[in-house]
Amino acid sequence: MRSRISYWGQNSYGATHSDTANWQKTLSTYCQDDSIDAFPVAFLNVFFGPGGVPSIDLANICSTTNDPLFPGTNMPDCSFLASDIQFCQSKGKIVTISLGGATGAASFTSDDQASAFGDTIWNTFLGGTSSVRPFGSAVLDGIDLDIEGGGTTHFAAFVNRIRTLANGASKQYYVTAAPQCPFPDAYMSTVLNAVGFDAVYVQFYNNYCEVSNAGNANDWDFESWDNWAKTQAINKNVKIYIGAPASSTAANSGYVDASTLANIALQTRSQYSSFGGVMLWDASQAYANNRFDAAIKNAIRQGAVTSTSSKPVTVPTSSRSSTISTTTTPTSTSHSSTATPTTTATSGNCAGVAAWVANVAYVGGDTVIYNGHLWTAKWWSYGDVPGGSAGDWTDSGACTSFAAAKPTAHSAAMSASVASIPPTPVA
């Protein structure tokens, strides 16, 4: 597996900024240099949609709202991205599909259902064939699990089916995961202990164990993940990555500047053999933040002697809305926060408000961010764009503040930029 990884697809910058010039671009934009080696495409957020077919949501690039659907399904046709994916792969980069996200309808009722879903994913995105291929002729390089609700019972059968199908294939396929930093992860511990993973991108932000607390031995728990990798993980060669926000607006808390993050990474690498690199959320945030991804890459390569002009952000304890007190209590993440947009906000103040999501039902009084404005639902609404002809939303004005705005699975928050030791690929 390649060393620098960036989640792409959720336009985290667009969730917190109205200047569209810096919003997420198509995938090939981020493949022009060597700052990022691999891209989990986020997210496949619905497992079983109409016709039993899953659905993906790539925010401003391709979605069920703005793009044609395959007949009888809720899967958008994003085949225009095939050339982007193939271009990135031609540059030696890896492109996988990330399943879940905070609003993802991600669960199975039996091992048989999970195994069958493995066939669906294989045929829809990987080495199989199907009449429903959202990325056309492009063949992705594996799967990533970002399960943030419901647990992972039966997920082992799903992963094992993917591995079985990948055996003997003409290319390598990868299996990765993105748990939150409190160990063990409340949602993903079951599957993490049941099957082998090539890399685990731990979200060290929006929690007490975030990178900004790396100097506090009572909070920073990379050692727990390193111990898991060496004693409990099925694949004892699994690599653990430090997940961090790519800018101060990419997460509610945990952001540190590139020089600080690089120093944390270098120290961690010197102490723990399972260390795999640094994961940033997300590509759009990293690019807008003075190419934070490139700064991290260069700082780690040069022993953290370089830095970016980005300034560290001191986050007061009171702003850590997702800090948890035990390792078994689920928390929200910056990969995507909970999809229920019930936050009450002052007109024009978008602090703590989630971006509008096409496949989430809203009720009267719910608030969302859309195109840099704060919108309030007049009544129950599903799939009707704020400002659209349905008239479901009241424009409460342009956002005057985005402080601690919550990214969502639609406009999300996690672009991984990983630097260092490559994990073992799936056969």
Catalytic positions:
148
Sign, Cα dihedral of 184, 189, 195, 200: negative
If we measure between CA atoms, which residue out of 28, 98, 81 comes closest to residue 281? 98
Question: How far is Cα 155 from Cα 194, in angstroms, rounded to an integer?
Answer: 9
If we measure between CA atoms, which residue out of 321, 319, 241 comes closest to residue 274? 241
Residue 350 tokens, joined: 């978008």
Question: How far is Cα 177 from Cα 331, in angstroms, rounded to an integer?
Answer: 17
Looking only at the bridges linking them, the beta strands covering 373-377 and 367-370 are antiparallel
Side chain identity at residue 390, one-letter code: A
Query: Are the C-beta atoms of 226 and 202 separated by less than 8 Å?
Result: no
Query: Are the C-beta atoms of 412 and 282 separated by less than 8 Å?
Result: yes
DSSP assignment of 146-180: EE-SS--TTHHHHHHHHHHHHTT-SS-BEEEE--B
Query: Are the C-beta atoms of 233 and 192 separated by less than 8 Å?
Result: yes
Cα angle vertex 385, ends 340, 23, to 5°?
85
Query: Are the C-beta atoms of 85 and 27 separated by less than 8 Å?
Result: yes
Question: How far is Cα 379 from Cα 415, in angstroms, rounded to an integer?
Answer: 34
Residue 110 tokens, joined: 């039996």
